[in-house]
Amino acid sequence: MPNLNDSILALQEKLQLLLKRYAQLEKENQQLKTSLTQQKEATAVVEQQLKDEKTQWTASMVNKAQMDPAAKEKLVKKIDQYIKEIDANIKNLNP
């Protein structure tokens, strides 16, 4: 019987350690989730600012450029394509 009691006590101690570790991991997981949410929000703000700045820059470049309308249209399409590629890359960086 003493062996059985010792085994039960050892098992209870291990279970207590596992429960403590589980609680620690749950707390860490919640902190990481909160941090991830904050980072996603910050990234969204930066992405929007970047889009706004790109739009303003494109508009100022098109307005300043003394080109024929076909060349302007080609430039705008090229810049729009670059913006789409950058947006896709930013999305790939944020899982």
Q: Total domain count for the chain?
A: 1
Of 44-48, 57-61, 62-66, 75-79, minimum mean pLDDT range = 62-66
What's the CA gap between 26 and 28, in Å, rounded? Answer: 5
Q: Domain of 30?
A: 2-93
Q: How confident is the model at residue 53 (pLDDT cuts 50, 70, 90)?
A: confident
The first and second tokens of residue 91, run together, are 């999305």
Instruction: Give yes or no for a contact between 83 and 61, defined as CB atoms under 8 angstroms apart.
Output: no
Instruction: Give yes or no for a contact between 62 and 77, defined as CB atoms under 8 angstroms apart.
Output: no
Q: What is the pLDDT of residues 69-82, one digit of tens each?
A: 777 788 788 888 88
At residue 1, the 3 state secondary structure works out as: coil
